[in-house]
Chain A
Amino acid sequence: MEPIISIRDARKNFGTLEVLHGINLDVSKGEVILVIGPSGSGKSTLLRSINRLEHLDSGTILVDGLDVNDPKTDIRLVREEAGMVFQSFNLFPHLSCIGNIMLSPTTVKKMPKAEARELAMKLLAKVGLAEKADSYPEQLSGGQQQRVAIARALAMNPKVMLFDEPTSALDPEMIKEVLDVMTDLAKDGMTMLVVSHEMGFARAAANRVVFMDKGEIIEQSTPEEFFTNPKEERARIFLDHIL
């Protein structure tokens, strides 16, 4: 099957530090991939390169056939296709929940307000927060904010969803509600690339685990195999640390 994201020899330095050291990765349509690895292994940078929040030094990334690093590519098209969810939610504090979700469809796609409102209500219901439509982000818990952030990204009807440590800033009791929403999304057939250490989610929803260390992909396998029987020494050491 034609991959929806195709990464070839992606390289990136921050000064003398090489954060991406020749990454190759294909993501097929409908696939759910968990990217795991020690901090500083380049997983977030890789994710942020896909919608060009970070610029690669060399290599190519194709998202649905669009060359992300080609200056001629309208990067906004890539960003419409690849929704992103951040560790720190980044909801817009001056807008209500429904305002947050409606903003991009009405601004970018010029969707009529009524239609955008309908869409936003549908998405809020999907993440279980229909009753919070008129609340402001600061009135919500972290878990609720992250669910609104997911709904906001979905409002652009993306083909891929990128999750950058979506549960790392959450209190333990709120992690589940976010993972449940993500698991539902995976079951609906969304293509997902998730930077996270949530093994429960990996087991429930992921097709593949990608283990990164020092800017390289060290090992790729199914969640079951990776967590019970990692082949590489570095993966074993890492799993010993987080288990």
Chain B
Amino acid sequence: MSRSPKTEQNQTPVITISDGTLIPQKGDGAVLSAWNIAFFGALIILALLCLFKPYPYRNILSFVPDGIVATLSVTFASIFFALIIGMIAGLGRISRNPVINLIATVYVEVVRGIPLLVQLFYIYFGIPQLIDHSPLKGIIHLNGPSSAIIAISICYGAYMAEIFRAGIQSLPKGQMEAALALGMSRGQAIRTVILPQTIKVILPPIGNEFIALLKDSSLVSMIAVSDLLRRGKEYASTSFEYFACYTVIALIYLIMTLFFSRLIAVMEAKLRHNGTNN
């Protein structure tokens, strides 16, 4: 009995809150219909606004498409590099080499402790000053979009690293042992046995990170990238149509995130299916 307080403490329920609810689960009727209401509602509102109030709504809508392209380019490029960085750092986090392990862990801890906006400013405004005082002056030039992609990739790479680490560690220990017992090196085992299984486990959290990244990409409007938000701001500051402008911007972001979350859910379901019946 004297140990019971400790036991109780250990049994404190843990709740995890993630962006997961954005991604509808298969067979989750409530979420699915919520998705329908939000997605088609946003589309219909946007269409009605353009139809009945062409000025300013249709004008705004025709002003922002290159912003959408910029937002999507930054998002896709960043998620691509973040996945590569995340895989390398995630493997580093489980490496038996203490130096590699320490480097990966410090990277993850440092990057996750600094706001993305600060990292963006650091790379866009800070680093160029450093380059100007180094022999690299004139050789390396970081423009807005490349700074944005570098900063977001480094930032999200740290979160991806934790996803890769957790995914790899979620596999039964026997998988690695079986591969080693067959004469494989650790590298071969990771490449042919561990990572292919990890991908399936980590696709849902990676989907969530992708949606979060898409939204966070709006931060690049603070450095010289003409993304969706910045295009909206540009239009608003000349026309003074703040309400209309940010309504359209919000609706477009909503439509994009809902569209991609649905796409990810479908991909997941497909992948799960393939694993069993292929």
Residues on A lying within 8 angstroms of B by beta carbon are 51, 53, 76-77, 79-80, 83-84, 86, 88, 90-94, 103-104, 107-108, 136, 138-139, 149, 152-153, 156
Contact of A94 with B197 in the complex, beta carbons under 8 Å: yes
Contact of B181 with A51 in the complex, beta carbons under 8 Å: yes
Contact of A108 with B197 in the complex, beta carbons under 8 Å: no
Query: Could you say which of B182, B196, B278 has the most chain A C-beta atoms within 10 Å of its C-beta?
Result: B182
Contact of A156 with B178 in the complex, beta carbons under 8 Å: no
- Extra A-B contacts (16), CB below 8 Å, given A84-B181, A86-B181, A92-B179: A51-B181, A79-B182, A83-B181, A84-B178, A88-B174, A90-B172, A92-B175, A94-B275, A103-B192, A104-B179, A104-B183, A107-B188, A107-B192, A108-B184, A152-B182, A156-B183
CA distance A156 to B178 in the complex (A): 13
Contact of B177 with A156 in the complex, beta carbons under 8 Å: no
The residue in chain A whose Cβ has the minimal distance to the Cβ of B175 is: A90
Which residues of the other chain, B, contact A90 by a CB distance below 8 angstroms? 172, 174-175, 177-178
Could you list some 6 contacts between A and B, CB below 8 A? Answer: A79-B181, A90-B177, A104-B179, A107-B188, A136-B275, A136-B278
CA distance A84 to B176 in the complex (A): 13
The smallest C-beta distance from A202 to any residue of chain B, in angstroms, reads: 24
**How many Cβ-Cβ contacts under 8 Å join chain A to chain B?**
65
CA distance A70 to B168 in the complex (A): 29
The residue in chain B whose Cβ has the minimal distance to the Cβ of A77 is: B183
Is residue B185 contacting chain A, with contact meaning CB distance below 8 A?
yes
Which residues of the other chain, A, contact B179 by a CB distance below 8 angstroms? 92, 104
User: How many residues does chain B have at the interface if contact means C-beta atoms less than 8 Å apart?
Assistant: 21
CA distance A161 to B200 in the complex (A): 32
Which residues of the other chain, B, contact A94 by a CB distance below 8 angstroms? 196-197, 200, 275
Is residue B180 contacting chain A, with contact meaning CB distance below 8 A?
yes
CA distance A80 to B183 in the complex (A): 5
The residue in chain A whose Cβ has the minimal distance to the Cβ of B185 is: A76
Partner of A53, one of B175, B180, B192, B278: B180
CA distance A79 to B176 in the complex (A): 13
CA distance A79 to B184 in the complex (A): 8
The residue in chain A whose Cβ has the minimal distance to the Cβ of B200 is: A94
Partner of B181, one of A53, A92, A93, A139: A53
The smallest C-beta distance from B207 to any residue of chain A, in angstroms, reads: 19
Shortest Cβ-Cβ A-B pairs, 6 listed: A90-B178, A90-B174, A104-B182, A80-B183, A84-B181, A79-B183
Is residue B193 contacting chain A, with contact meaning CB distance below 8 A?
yes
The smallest C-beta distance from A114 to any residue of chain B, in angstroms, reads: 19
The residue in chain A whose Cβ has the minimal distance to the Cβ of B275 is: A94
CA distance A55 to B69 in the complex (A): 56
CA distance A93 to B179 in the complex (A): 12
Which residues of the other chain, A, contact B175 by a CB distance below 8 angstroms? 90, 92
